[in-house]
Amino acid sequence: MSDHDPDLEPVHDDAGDVVVAGIDELPDDAVKKTLGWAFWVCLAWLGGLVAVAMLAPFLPIEDPTEFRVGPTNEGPSWSHWFGTDKAGRDVFARAVWGARISLVVGFFAITFGLVVGGTLGMLAGFLRGWVDQVISFIFFAVLSFPALVLAILIVTSVERSLQTVSLTLGVLSVAPVGRLARAQTLVFAEREFVHAARVIGAKNGRILVRELLPNVLIPMGALGLLGMGVAIVAEGGLAFLGLSIAGENAGSLSWGKLINESRSIRDLQNIPHVAFSIIGVMFLTILSLNFAGDRVREYTDVRETAF
Amino acid sequence: MRSFLLRRVLQLILVILAVTFATFASLNIIGDPLENLVGPIIAGTDCDAVDRGEIEDASSTGGSRTDCEIIREAEAEYNLDKSIPVRYGIWASEILRGDFGRSLITGVETKELVKNRLPQTLKLVVYAQVIALGIAIPWGVSTARRANRGFDRASTIGSFGLLSIPNFALGVILLWLFALRWELFPAGYDDSSLSQEFKSLTLPALTLGLGLAATYQRLLRTDLITTLQDDFVHMARAKGMPPRWIMYRHALRPSMFSVVTVFGINTGALIGGSLVIEQIFFIPGIGAAVVEAVLRQDQPVVVVLVALIAVAFVVVNFFVDLFYGWLDPRVRAS
């Protein structure tokens, strides 16, 4: 704040938002802070992907598991956009069906992490004392495992289905999300609007939900986008080890599995388009999630940087 | 410093206990312990019936030992008649004494397995960190020096893209480009000579190191830009010191805190990543050993390997913490 105009002292309004006096005098780039066109491009890609994935059974695309819908080992063409693989299956259809699994796993995992981790983290940060110590130690212990190693440990002792793999990755995302939620709660719990709420007689539950939750939710939104990317990659890692969803039907295809199936030396030499088209789709998706998450974080950070 | 050290050591012991117990418990709490130990097929054999001579004792895995021999050994070795904490105590004290047990399916001593497989993984992880730092430090310095200029902006996009490629996808790309298209590096693992081994570890280490380098570069750049506004840098500049000298001898060290912090955390990601990358480049490391054991449903081996990996990760972070405390005296006080 030292190099800013002293007139621009932050003022809190009743919702805890910061109202900066004389906002018109801020430099141009601070006023015109928008999400930017690239953000909307990313969102359009993600939205299109979700739509295509959801509608996959109704779209005029080939059956992803049917052999010889075209010639084998053919490069991309008008009738088969991503070409065909060594069994003559349509790679585009497989990419679309892979998106279904990858997106569902990613979405479920991070949602689970946000709900459970967010709740635990906020409770720890708000209640402090022994609750905080116990929860923080559990977070710390879980984070002491390399995440993928812990995932392997869990999936070895269960039947590997869409549900168990999603849940495993969800459990793994609890600790990192929870730690951030706790840190955010700690910061906001000491702010004036929380003290004010307490002074006028608000109970713990009300302070948590009405005062703290909205402020913790904002960074969580950005984390949700980034975390979904991490979860999709983690599922891919498991699939690469042959430890993701078991089976051969369309309900077990994920991007990781599709890349893993087409990465043998011989396949890479003869039909590299199979692995690379899936890698391309996956890369664009992770890039979009990361970029959108990053933009949301920067965009919502604006009030914090006003200090 | 002494109380700082003591607190950290206590924390270290507590976390190691928690982590190993959690690992051990996964074998004993989820599902039937015997089934976890020897797999469902062998565990399904009714040994009492065999004793009564009602059915033939055979080997369902095709190994030299029969199912009931394996079951009896498992029950004795893992003290399945005792309670879980007692079993954990026995298991942990055996590991402390260097007895890692052995696979009930292949009969291979887990200690031998670790001895054969650990060096490759260790080399890979260290090599990857060296590559990451070797790229990130000059990269971070040059972008911080000319922040927001053309190269810096291009770097931001580049590192963002790099961080969005899953490591296994990057591995496939590098394998295809450098090993298959241009044939600069071997596609498989070859330890016939030191230079061959070095060469065959380069692509996997690069796969793991590039993503890390991008992470380090972002952090180093941010910290360096802050440091470069400090008075002592202005002073050095006013005295007419060469910019390169100022960068590497004055500004770099106080800008390394963030990198050191994530160095430890990233070791975990690196270990996890190496499990996957070892598969792509056919490296017979710990990761490959874990995967083989998992696919064999050889849980006793999985548990020991996972516990070792987790403890190694905890210990690395312990030393990073100490190093951090040494770098920045304020940490010790907190």
B272 touches chain A (CB under 8 A): yes
Q: Is residue A43 a contact partner of residue A288, using CB atoms and an 8 Å limit?
A: yes
What is the amino acid identity at position A90?
D
What would the mean pLDDT of B215-241 be, rounded to a whole number?
Answer: 90
User: Which residues does B233 contact at the CB level (< 8 Å), separation at least 6?
Assistant: B227, B246, B250, B251
Mutation target vs A (from B11, B17, B175, B176; most A CBs, 10 A cutoff): B176
Judged against a pLDDT cut of 70, whether residue A245 lies above it is answered with yes
- Write out the two tokens for B21: 């117990």
Long-range contacts at A73-78 (CB < 8 A, ≥ 24 apart): A73/A270, A73/A271, A75/A271, A75/A273, A76/A273, A76/A277
Chain B CB within 8 Å of residue A105 CB: no
- Across chain B, what does the average pLDDT equal? 84
Strand partners, A11: A19
Partner residue facing A268 (CB), from B30, B175, B279: B175
pLDDT score, position B334: 53
Residue in chain A closest to B317 (alpha carbons) equals A144
Given this model, what pLDDT does residue A235 score? 93
Q: Is the pLDDT of residue A16 over 60?
A: no
Which of A102, A145, A171 to substitute to test the interface with B, most B CBs within 10 Å?
A145
B169:A269 CB<8 A? no
The string of pLDDT tens digits covering residues A68-97 is: 777 777 778 877 788 888 777 888 888 999
How buried is A130 (Cβ within 10 angstroms: 0-12 exposed, 13-18 middle, 19+ buried)?
exposed
Q: Taking 70 as the threshold, does the pLDDT of residue A24 lie above it?
A: no
Asked if pLDDT for residue B324 goes beyond 70, the answer is yes
Share of chain B above pLDDT 90, in %: 21
Distance, in Å, from the CA atom of B185 to the CA atom of A254, rounded to the nearest integer, reads: 30
CB–CB of A150/B24 below 8 Å?
no
The pLDDT-based confidence of B110 (bands split at 50, 70, 90) is: confident
Domain ranges of chain B: 2-104, 111-333
B266: which chain A residues are within 8 Å (Cβ-Cβ)?
A: none
Taking the CA of residue B172 and the nearest CA in chain A, the distance in Å comes to 7
Higher pLDDT, A3 or A289: A289
Higher pLDDT, B326 or A8: B326
Q: Would you place residue A2 in the very low, low, confident or very high pLDDT band (cuts 50, 70, 90)?
A: very low
CB contact under 8 A, A256 and B22: no
Render pLDDT for B271-288 as a digit per residue (tens, 0 to 9): 888 889 998 899 999 988
Residues 148-167 of A with CB under 8 A from B: 148-150, 152-154, 156-158
How many percent of chain A have pLDDT more than 90? Answer: 34
**What pLDDT was estimated at residue A215?**
85
Interface contact A144, partner B, CB < 8 A:
yes
Chain A residue numbers with beta carbons less than 8 Å from the beta carbon of B275 are 148-149, 152, 237, 241
Question: Any idea which residue has 């689970």 for tokens?
Answer: A112
Whether A116 and A176 have beta carbons less than 8 Å apart is answered as no
Measured between alpha carbons, how far is residue B311 from residues A207, B121, B183, B254 in Å? Answer: 40, 15, 38, 30
Give the type of residue at A158: V
User: What is the per-residue pLDDT for B4?
Assistant: 78
Query: Which pLDDT band, with edges at 50, 70 and 90, does B320 fall under?
Result: confident
Mean pLDDT across A235-250: 85
pLDDT-based confidence at residue B258 (cuts at 50, 70, 90): confident
Does B70 score more than 80 pLDDT?
A: no
- pLDDT band for B62, please (50, 70, 90 cuts): low
**Cα–Cα distance measured from residue B303 to residue B294, given in angstroms and rounded to the nearest whole number:** 10
> Is the model's pLDDT at B134 over the cut of 60?
yes
Q: Which band of pLDDT confidence, cut at 50, 70 and 90, is reported for residue A304?
A: very low
User: Which of helix, strand or coil describes residue B86?
Assistant: helix
B328 token code pair: 């920045």
Indicate if ipTM > 0.90: no
**Size of the A and B interface in Cβ pairs below 8 Å:** 137
Count of other CB atoms within 10 angstroms of residue A153: 26
pLDDT in the model for residue A32: 56
Q: Tokens in use for B299?
A: 């849980």
At residue B193, what is the residue type? S
Task: Please indicate whether residue A259 or residue B265 has the higher confidence score (pLDDT).
Answer: A259
Give the pLDDT mean for B108-121: 89
Whether A178 shows a pLDDT value over 70: the answer reads: yes
Predicted local distance difference test score (pLDDT) of residue B31: 63
Least-confidence region, from A230-234, B79-83, B143-147: B79-83
Report pLDDT for A18: 47
Mean pLDDT of chain A: 83
Q: Which of A20-29, B76-85, B231-240 has the highest mean pLDDT?
A: B231-240
Give the whole-angstrom CA distance, residue A136 versus residue A121.
Answer: 8
pLDDT band at B330 (very low <50, low <70, confident <90, very high): low
Higher pLDDT, A208 or A64: A208
Give me the mean pLDDT over the B69-74 stretch.
77
Tell me the pLDDT tens digit for each residue of B162-204: 999 999 999 999 999 998 888 888 888 888 888 888 888 999 9
pLDDT at A14 over 60: no
Partner B contacted by A243 (CB < 8 A): yes
Distance CA B183, CA B199 (A): 12
What is the CATH T-level fold of the domain B111-333, as seen in this structure? Answer: MetI-like fold (1.10.3720)
Give DSSP secondary structure letters for A237-292.
HHHHTT-SS-SSSGGG--HHHHHHHT-SHHHHHH-HHHHHHHHHHHHHHHHHHHHH
Instruction: Tell me the pLDDT band of B221, cut-offs 50, 70 and 90.
Output: very high
When CB atoms are compared, the residue of A141, A149, A157 closest to B271 is A149
- Lowest mean pLDDT segment, chosen from A269-273, B12-16, B57-61: B57-61
Task: Tell which wins on pLDDT, B145 or B45.
Answer: B145
Whether B72 shows a pLDDT value over 80: the answer reads no
Q: Over 60: is that where the pLDDT of A303 sits?
A: no
